């Protein structure tokens, strides 16, 4: 039985684990290292950690990443503030398996190609955050702060051409809402490129996960579902048994 890739996507700000709704309304969750230990016990296969403030602070919290990497039994993917080859080298030396780049890919159009050439496509993930404005999908960078003028389908093809190994696609409108994914558009992106897509933003139940997996994504990123008991309820770090998802998929 092939289990689907279900990945916790954790957000950190000032060294603490947080959760947002539509990239806003920051709620404190807890200590990221304690959360990693819980995911170890739950036998989570991989984890994505995104620092939402690293770009603005122009600094990567290497001490925290080092501690997390030493705690994690699962592969760790990190994103936030990466703007130099040296940043990537430092993270890989600490034990990070993949890096995620968002903002600097728009600033330096050759950056993703340089990373892929240096470290291999399998280690490089591009993050695309977008929202719908006047019926158009608009890309935003820097944790949703800055609008980008690239047409999203052209941009994902550019990233594929530059050797990116995977894309994490986040709908800002859906993020943290528990209301489901932007299914039709995500499927459109999946069909437009030949590299894996991680869908992130909006998961609230197993049916949402089933539906987005049927859109052809390679993985599903979960935020609220793995740090809260339920919608509008308290913090509880947890994880879904992927075998249950397989059962739902087979119904």
Rounded to whole angstroms, how far apart are CA atoms 183 and 147? 22
Q: Any idea of the CA torsion for 145, 46, 212, 124, to the nearest 10 degrees?
A: 50
173 given a catalytic annotation: no
**Looking at 87, 129, 162, 182, which residue is catalytic?**
129
Among candidate residues 76, 113, 80, the one with its CA nearest the CA of residue 92? 76
Answer for the pair 162, 187: CB distance below 8 angstroms, yes or no: no
Rounded to whole angstroms, how far apart are CA atoms 228 and 230? 5
Token pair listed for 40: 């170890």
Rounded to whole angstroms, how far apart are CA atoms 220 and 208? 10
Rounded to whole angstroms, how far apart are CA atoms 220 and 7? 6
Which residues are the active-site residues? 129
């Amino acid at each position: 039985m092939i289990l689907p890739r279900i990945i916790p996507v954790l957000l950190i700000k000032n060294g603490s684990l947080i959760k947002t709704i539509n990239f806003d309304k920051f709620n404190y969750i807890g200590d990221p290292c304690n959360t990693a230990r819980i995911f170890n016990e739950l036998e989570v296969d991989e984890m994505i950690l995104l620092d939402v403030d690293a770009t603005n602070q122009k600094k990567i919290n290497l001490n925290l990443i080092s501690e997390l990497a030493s705690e994690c039994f699962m592969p760790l993917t990190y994103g936030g503030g990466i703007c130099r080859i040296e940043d990537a080298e430092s993270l890989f030396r600490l034990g990070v398996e993949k890096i995620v780049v968002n903002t600097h890919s728009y600033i330096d159009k050759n950056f993703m190609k340089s990373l892929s050439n240096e470290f291999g496509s399998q280690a490089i993930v591009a993050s695309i955050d977008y929202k719908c404005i006047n019926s158009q999908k608009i890309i935003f960078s820097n944790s949703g702060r800055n609008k980008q003028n690239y047409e999203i389908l052209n941009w994902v093809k550019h990233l594929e051409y530059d050797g990116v190994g995977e894309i994490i696609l986040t709908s800002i409108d859906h993020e943290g809402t528990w209301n489901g994914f932007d299914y039709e558009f995500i499927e459109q992106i999946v069909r437009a490129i030949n590299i894996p897509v991680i869908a992130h933003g909006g998961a609230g139940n197993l049916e949402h996960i089933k539906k987005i997996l049927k859109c052809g994504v390679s993985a599903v990123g979960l935020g609220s579902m793995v740090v809260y008991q339920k919608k509008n309820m308290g913090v509880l770090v947890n994880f879904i048994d992927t075998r249950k998802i397989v059962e739902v998929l087979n119904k």
